[in-house]
Amino acid sequence: MAYKSSDKTRQKKDAKRTAMMQAAVQVFAEKGYHAATVRDIVKQADVAIGTFYFYFPDKETLFVHLYEETADFLLQTIEQAVRSRKELVQQLSYGIQAYLNIAIYEPAVVQLLLVGGVGTVPSLQAKRTTFRERLVRLWQRPLDQAIDDGVIPNQNSRRVAEAFAGAFDEVILQLLAMPEPEEKAAAVIQDLTLFSLRAIAFKGNPP
């Protein structure tokens, strides 16, 4: 008879893996990819070093896997916010707010995606390219719909979405470098929404 792990055993394994993933996000954000070590991660997660190697063969594999999961989390959160609204102004505003909320309350996630591993993990390049492409398409979809609806003039929505993605990233990174960024969040959401609407020549009333 084949051995089957109990639900309790699987839950313990899942908890250890989750703890390591959460610890790794913090360690990579604080120390950077090269300075961070496997021992740093297991110490932060309070697990044995053997537990790490049960799940991952090395630090690079963990980092790439972590990047992929973190990217999915961020993209799904923003997309849900955008899709929850029908009007372009709210789609942009809610999407920006979702991104900002993650940046403020889970800053290590944003640091990992925008800064961590840049140019240092060759196997990450394809994952990074995929993430950026999905992010651009996320912002492009409501623009295409607005063009079809006649809300904004015909324009190269792809280039605009690329510009939005880069501008939003830069503003959010600058915000995270400030003390108490949460106090400036509402103003940043307003500023970025207005900036976006002006950039695409929105014909309606601004928020």
Give per-residue pLDDT as tens, 167-195: 999 999 999 999 999 999 999 999 999 99
For the 10-56 domain, the top CATH level (class) is mainly alpha
- Which residues neighbour 12 within 8 Å (Cβ) at sequence distance 6 or greater? none
In the prediction, which pLDDT does 1 show? Answer: 43
- CATH 1.10.357.10 matches 59-199: yes
Report which of 16, 90, 7 is spatially closest to residue 47, judged by C-alpha positions: 16
In the prediction, which pLDDT does 79 show? Answer: 97
d(CA 66, CA 63): 5
d(CA 45, CA 26): 10
Dihedral angle of Cα 190, 196, 197, 199, to the nearest 10 degrees:
140
In the prediction, which pLDDT does 110 show? Answer: 87
> Average pLDDT for consecutive 10-residue bins of the chain (207 residues)?
52 79 88 90 92 91 89 95 96 97 90 74 84 96 96 97 96 92 94 96 79
The domain spans of the chain are 10-56, 59-199
How much is the pTM?
Answer: 0.85
